[in-house]
């Protein structure tokens, strides 16, 4: 039986740091409120001359180097993002060009914060079916370009960054054991960028009304996330006949430390088994899980044979999980 194994990880964070203290000079907020309500202390902001594909390129170069592979070894690039360089072409094609991955097909996936797990699931299917042997899966975002810096309820949350993994088919016990993808389009308006698509094409009106930035019904989203992620984690463990105590690490989407703690406490997992980097990254949507995975990997928190659970929740609405044996 062929399984898809994550053979390397890589990530990239822009060097510019935006602290809670600086944000407090821009909108009516405070370090205390942001820390207590979200767990975020700072977030990274991309240089003005950098694009979402540039961040993806940097993360991918590290993943390739860590795997000892050349870009020409990859036959598919999947990029999960909601803040691509432009509506089209796909950001994945721009990454393919920058890497000179001349043998790779490339496309984007839009499932907001669940995007990386959606992309991982697609890549896993391609590998298990034998269609592709080596796939680069990336989550990358420059959310700071789509943030309303006058809206204190959203501008304190988001950050920029990218993470990448290389997947390879192999026969053995390690690899992606299962993925679980869900959506409910009835709740599409909880998190959205209202304009810039066919519904509301860009116009003077949409610009003047600041409709090209993220708008979110935060509290409704919060309640739905806590309820949904709890049962998602239960189902994922049940599917693999595992108990929470067998998990080495839970790597959740980094949206809010209270959501993360609620999920961990529901399954009785102590917080030292939960990967958290929200304090330094904020919510980087599709990039959040691969950045956290790379942080955990580089910190030596994951060893061969360990069970790792990834889970995410975001716009769409979408939610998703993956169980990995490292
Ligand atoms: N500073 C100070 N006060 C604030 C701020 C701020 N930055 N933002 C909101 N407030 C105020 C509100 O105005 C409100 O004041 P009021 O009671 O006088 O009306 C009060 O704080 C409480 O506001 P809530 O929105 O109810 O606060 P909540 O506890 O829900 O926290 C938050 C808000 C952090 C956004 C939370 O709801 C959350 O994390 N939601 C989920 C986000 C998420 O997971 N999104 C999915 C991924 S995003 C994606 O897919 C792109």
The DSSP code sequence of 148-208 is: -TT-HHHHTTB-EEEEEEEEEEEESS-EEEEEEEEE-GGGGGGEE--SSSSSS---HHHHH
Mutate to test the pocket of ligand 1, among 153, 159, 260 (most ligand atoms within 8 A of CB): 153
- For residues 109 and 119, the answer to whether their CB atoms sit within 8 Å is yes
Closest listed residue to residue 179, CA positions, set 247, 118, 135: 118
Quick check: CB of 38 below 6 Å from ligand 1? yes
pLDDT score, position 72: 98
How many whole angstroms separate alpha carbon 269 and alpha carbon 149? Answer: 36
Q: What spacing in Å lies between the alpha carbon of 27 and ligand 1's midpoint?
A: 14
How many whole angstroms separate alpha carbon 218 and alpha carbon 230? Answer: 18
Alpha helices in 68-136 (DSSP H): 91-99, 115-128
Instruction: For residue 2, report the phi and psi dihedrals to the nearest 5 degrees.
Output: -85, 135
pLDDT score, position 101: 98
281 belongs to the catalytic site:
no
For residue range 74-96, what is the model confidence (pLDDT) as tens digits?
999 999 999 999 999 999 999 99
Indicate which residue's Cα is closest to atom 43 of ligand 1. 255
CA 242 to chain centre: 24
Quick check: CB of 153 below 6 Å from ligand 1? yes
For residue range 189-229, what is the model confidence (pLDDT) as tens digits?
999 999 999 999 999 999 999 999 999 999 999 999 999 99
Helix, strand, coil tally for the chain in percent (to 5):
40, 25, 30
Quick check: CB of 113 below 6 Å from ligand 1? yes
Radius of gyration of the CA atoms of the chain, in A: 19
Residue spans of the chain under pLDDT 70: none
Quick check: CB of 152 below 6 Å from ligand 1? yes
110 belongs to the catalytic site:
no
Rounded to two decimals, the pTM is 0.97
* Residues 6 or more apart whose Cβ sits within 8 Å of residue 199: none
Atom of ligand 1 nearest to the CA of 256: 39
Mutate to test the pocket of ligand 1, among 39, 148, 222 (most ligand atoms within 8 A of CB): 222
Indicate which residue's Cα is closest to atom 49 of ligand 1. 314
pLDDT score, position 1: 87
Indicate which residue's Cα is closest to atom 13 of ligand 1. 153
CA 292 to chain centre: 9
* Residues 6 or more apart whose Cβ sits within 8 Å of residue 63: 8, 9, 10, 136, 164, 165, 166
Indicate which residue's Cα is closest to atom 28 of ligand 1. 219
Q: What spacing in Å lies between the alpha carbon of 147 and ligand 1's midpoint?
A: 15
Q: What is the DSSP string of 29-79?
A: --HHHHHHHH--SEEEE--TT--HHHHHHHHHHHHHHHHT--GGG-SEEEE
Q: What spacing in Å lies between the alpha carbon of 18 and ligand 1's midpoint?
A: 19
Closest listed residue to residue 322, CA positions, set 307, 305, 306, 303: 307
- For residues 121 and 320, the answer to whether their CB atoms sit within 8 Å is yes
Closest listed residue to residue 242, CA positions, set 263, 267, 274: 267
3-state class (DSSP) for residue 103: coil
283 belongs to the catalytic site:
yes
- For residues 190 and 35, the answer to whether their CB atoms sit within 8 Å is no
- Structural domains in the chain, CATH included, are 2-172 (3.40.47.10), 177-325 (3.40.47.10)
**Dihedral sign computed on CA atoms, order 83, 88, 91, 97:** negative
Q: What spacing in Å lies between the alpha carbon of 218 and ligand 1's midpoint?
A: 5
For residue 308 the two structure tokens come to 């790792």
Atom of ligand 1 nearest to the CA of 214: 51
Atom of ligand 1 nearest to the CA of 315: 50
Quick check: CB of 106 below 6 Å from ligand 1? no
pLDDT score, position 14: 98
**Residue for token pair 């009785």:** 268
Quick check: CB of 221 below 6 Å from ligand 1? yes
């Amino acid at each position: 039986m062929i399984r898809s194994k994550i053979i390397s990880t890589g990530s990239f964070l822009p060097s510019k740091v935006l602290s809670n203290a600086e944000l407090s000079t821009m909108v009516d907020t405070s370090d205390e409120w942001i820390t207590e309500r979200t767990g975020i202390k700072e977030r990274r902001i991309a240089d003005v001359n950098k694009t979402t594909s540039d961040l993806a390129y940097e993360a991918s170069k590290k993943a390739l180097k860590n795997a000892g592979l050349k870009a020409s070894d990859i036959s598919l690039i999947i990029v999960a993002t909601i803040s691509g360089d432009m509506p089209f072409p796909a950001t994945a094609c721009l990454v393919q060009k920058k890497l000179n991955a001349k043998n790779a097909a490339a496309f984007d996936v839009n499932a907001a914060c669940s995007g990386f797990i959606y992309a991982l699931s697609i890549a896993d299917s391609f590998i298990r079916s034998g269609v592709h042997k080596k796939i680069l899966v990336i989550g990358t975002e420059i959310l700071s370009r789509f943030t309303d810096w006058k809206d204190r309820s959203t501008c304190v949350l988001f950050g920029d960054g990218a993470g990448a993994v290389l997947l390879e088919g192999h026969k053995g016990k390690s690899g992606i054991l299962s993925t679980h993808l869900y959506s409910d389009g009835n709740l599409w308006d909880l998190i959205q960028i209202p304009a810039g698509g066919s519904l509301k094409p860009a116009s003077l009106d949409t610009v003047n009304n600041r409709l090209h930035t993220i708008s979110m019904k935060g509290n409704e989203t919060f309640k739905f996330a806590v309820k949904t992620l709890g049962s998602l984690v239960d189902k994922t463990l049940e599917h693999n006949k595992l108990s929470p105590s067998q998990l080495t690490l839970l790597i959740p989407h980094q949206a809010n430390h209270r959501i993360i703690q609620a999920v961990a406490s529901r399954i009785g997992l102590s917080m030292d088994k939960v990967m958290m980097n929200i304090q330094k990254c904020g919510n980087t949507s599709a990039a959040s899980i691969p950045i956290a995975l790379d942080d955990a990997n580089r910190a030596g928190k994951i060893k061969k044979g360990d069970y790792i659970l990834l889970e995410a929740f975001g716009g769409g609405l979408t939610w998703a999980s993956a169980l990995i044996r490292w």
